[in-house]
Amino acid sequence: MNEPLIIASSARTAALCLAAPGARHFLPARTEWRLSSTEGDERRGETATVVTLLHDLLPDTGYLFEAEGFAALEFRTSPCAGLVEAAAFSLAPDVALDDEEGARANAEALERAVATVPHGGTLRLAAGLWTSFPVRLKSNMTFHLAEGAVLRAPSSRKGWPILPARDDAGHMLGSWEGLPDACFAAPVHAIGTDNLIIEGRGVLNGSGDRGDWWSWPKETRDGARRPRGLHLVSCRKIQLLGFTIKNAASWTIHPQGCEDLIAAGLTINAPHDSPNTDGFNPESCRNVTISGVRFSVGDDCIAVKAGKRGPDGEDDHLAETRGILVRHCLMERGHGGLVIGSEMSGGVHDVSVEDCDMVGTDRGLRLKTRRGRGGIVSNIAMRRVLLDGVQTALSANAHYHCDADGHDERVQSRQPAPIDKGTPFIDGIIVEDVEIRNLAHAAGVFLGLPEAPIRNVAIRNLTIVSRDPSAIAAPPIMADRVRPMRHEAIVVEQTHIVCDDPAMLSDASISTVSDRD
């Protein structure tokens, strides 16, 4: 009998894991369940996904969950110190996207509502269309998005609050691609909070498609970079449960310097052509679990980061990322399924992606760095993952041509360079029980530095089921002087690799012959 597990719970929501054997994001078949409470209430339903959310529970109540093929599970919801209705603070529905005055009035109403929530209480946003400038949440509260609730950002950035690059103590606050930088505040954000829960069946809409945000992806306007969709800075003990977030102006969810965060059962959406709308980017974080999340975005689905050295070697803002667990997620589209870097100067360690489906992403597991970054990436694992229609299944690239100088010879040269604090190291990648369907370019491409080869790569039970007959040969990684590939197996340069199927390892080069001579 399979044992269901509690991933996270609050006063009104529980996230369960129904890990049937062989199940990744979806269960083998739709499964009926029954939920009964000690108060005598009973409800029934069915689920198709391993990670299942139970909504609208009663606070401080015992429950018994029963599902076909699973052992019974008893749990108790948390108490709630008080329920505050956002609508009680003159929050106006149906404010137009270009109504700056109405959106600002709603932001002030939400600010008053947040201030009223007692320690351990809940702010509930009822069903309706609510337009608001950014709202900042606080510690020891739950922000509950009821079914049918849509909290959206306005289309205008006039008067939009800006986070400075650093706080009064000099710590990084606003950021852009791994460096301290002023940025527009996210529509929902929290700074230095503990014990925060955002939950429900409602929607956070960043309205990136309604303003001009997507027309200046790498620029600064009005003194700031684009906002994230949900920005959590220096927070601890965070739960993100069940809601949908879409159309962020840039990265969708960005935990920065956070610890002990759980995200379960979210839906993260952005148009496939929206610039830099990564799904979930934990940066300089510890102990993050991403479970049962469904992604369809314009850039990487998940990009694990740890800051970037400044152009003159500045590193006082750097901190490592350690302990990232990704399970039972569905990545549909996106540049990469699980990506590490390229901002990894603080070091990225102990990252696992397990029991996931990656469908139509450009790459599956992707590591990217370059000379000048420094830092160490270690102990990366991918297990029991299906890659379907992925162009390059596995890649690690230490010649990534990012930033203004990314094509310079000092970045792209295949000749050894002196080792210094800007030398990046990759040590320890395990890939097990991975299935590839409709492969386009290559099953694996590992391009290390001659002065710092990629070390300790182990591949076991990797299966190529089929290849995409319509695939067109193209360079499989973003580095200069890389030859086009089509339907290739595992190709390596400056990499120490062991594979249980030697036939998977190609003798062909990655770099063009003229560059290797």
Instruction: Give CA torsion, residues 104, 108, 109, 111, to 10 deg.
Output: 140
pTM of model > 0.95: yes
CA distances from 73 to 4, 11, 130 (A): 7, 17, 37
Please give the pLDDT value at position 218: 93
Rounded Cα–Cα distance for residues 27 and 477 (Å): 33
Give the closest residue to 116 by CA, choosing from 145, 132, 138, 144: 138
The phi-psi region of residue 327 (left if phi > 0; otherwise alpha if psi is between -120 and 50; otherwise beta) is beta
Does residue 167 carry a catalytic annotation? no
Q: Phi, psi (5° rounding) for residue 86?
A: -60, -35
Which amino acid, one-letter code, is at 80?
C
Rounded to 5°, the CA angle 194-200-204 comes to: 85
Residue by residue, DSSP assigns 271-316 as -TTSTT--SB--BS-EEEEEES-EEE-SS-SEEEB-B---TT---T
DSSP, collapsed to helix, strand or coil, labels residue 155 as coil
Instruction: Spell out, as residue ranges, where the chain has pLDDT lower than 50.
Output: 516-517
Q: What is the pLDDT of residue 195?
A: 98
> What would the two tokens of residue 319 be?
């901190």
Average pLDDT, whole number, for the chain? Answer: 97
Given 231, 335, 349, 399, which residue is catalytic?
335
Q: What is the pLDDT of residues 299-312, one digit of tens each?
A: 999 999 999 999 88
- Dmax over CA atoms of the chain, in Å, equals 77
Does a cis peptide bond (omega within 30 degrees of 0) precede residue 342? yes
- Tell me: the pLDDT tens digits for 450-499? 999 999 999 999 999 999 999 999 999 999 999 999 999 999 999 999 99
Q: 3-state DSSP call for residue 321? A: strand
Q: What is the pLDDT of residue 517?
A: 45
**Confidence at residue 515, expressed as pLDDT on a 0 to 100 scale:** 52
User: Tokens 């959106």 correspond to what residue?
Assistant: 103
* The two three-digit tokens of residue 487, written as one number: 């339907």
**Active-site residue flag, 316:** no
For 227-277, the pLDDT digits (tens) are 999 999 999 999 999 999 999 999 999 999 999 999 999 999 999 999 999
What residue spans of 66-157 are helical by DSSP H?
100-116
Q: How far is CA 339 from CA 299, 361, 395, in A?
A: 10, 11, 9
Please name each of the domains of the chain with its CATH number.
Answer: 5-76 (2.60.40.10)
Q: Closest Cα to residue 37, out of 56, 53, 52?
A: 56
119 CB-near residues (< 8 Å, 6+ apart): 81, 140, 141
62 Cβ neighbours under 8 A, 6+ residues apart: 37, 38, 74, 75, 76
Contact at 8 Å (CB) between 337 and 302?
yes
Amino acid identity at 120: G
CB-CB contact of 362 with 51 (8 Å): no
Both tokens of residue 88? 């009680």
One of 181, 299, 357, 388 is an active-site residue; which one?
A: 299
Report whether 128 contacts 93 (CB < 8 A): yes
Q: Which amino acid is at 154?
A: P
The per-residue pLDDT for range 92-101, each reduced to its tens digit, is 999 999 999 9
pLDDT number for residue 513: 59
DSSP string, 389-421: S-SEEEEEETT---STTTTSHHHH--S-----T
